[in-house]
């Protein structure tokens, strides 16, 4: 697999959220390639022509330690090197403040943007292939 040998030794990059917005055309519907329980996946193309899958994670849910979950997932994905597991090429974890209206007053709210970036595999996700396979074999 050319893509695997070309990038297998690289350390995942720390992408800015602004760059991820740019390469996914502001997370446009045209670039959306999947939706899951933790976020939406978009196709993005880096300046060097490399196509990646950007999983923009949903905002945190109260009561969940999503910072720890994000850190664990990032750390585990950085360690894994296997031909059957999609490679992590980068991540984004940024905190910004946004002025919003709340109860008639303007306040600054903390907004946390998190994303995981993976190598892009042509042909869709494994679950689609498996469900198509099982439907055909019935």
What does the pLDDT look like over 75-108, one tens digit per residue? 888 888 888 888 999 999 999 999 999 999 999 9
Q: What residue segments make up the domains of the chain, in order of their start?
A: 2-137
The rounded distance, in Å, linking the Cα atoms of 52 and 69 is 22
Q: Is 56 annotated as a binding residue?
A: yes
Of 64 and 10, which is predicted with more confidence?
10
Let me know if domain 2-137 sits in CATH 3.30.200.20: yes
pLDDT at residue 128 tops 80: no
Task: Confirm if 11 and 83 have CB atoms less than 8 A apart.
Answer: no
Label residue 74 by pLDDT band (50, 70, 90): confident
Closest CA to 94 of 8, 9, 17, 11: 17
In 10 A of CB 90, how many CB atoms? Answer: 20
CA distances from 111 to 1, 17, 52, 55 (A): 39, 12, 24, 17
The contacts of residue 59 (CB under 8 Å, 6+ apart) are 111, 112
DSSP conformation class of 122:
T
């Amino acid at each position: 697999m050319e893509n695997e040998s070309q990038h297998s030794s690289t350390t995942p990059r720390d992408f800015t959220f602004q760059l991820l917005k740019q390469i996914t055309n502001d997370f446009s519907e045209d670039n959306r390639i999947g939706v899951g329980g933790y976020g939406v996946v978009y196709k993005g193309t880096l300046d060097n022509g490399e196509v990646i899958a950007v999983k923009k994670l949903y905002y945190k849910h109260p009561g969940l330690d999503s910072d720890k979950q994000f850190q664990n997932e990032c750390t585990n994905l950085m360690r894994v090197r296997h031909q059957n597991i999609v490679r992590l090429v980068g991540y984004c974890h940024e905190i910004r403040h946004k002025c919003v209206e709340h109860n008639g007053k303007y306040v600054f709210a903390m907004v946390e943007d998190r994303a995981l970036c993976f190598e892009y595999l042509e042909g869709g996700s494994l679950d689609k292939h498996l469900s198509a396979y099982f439907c055909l074999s019935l």
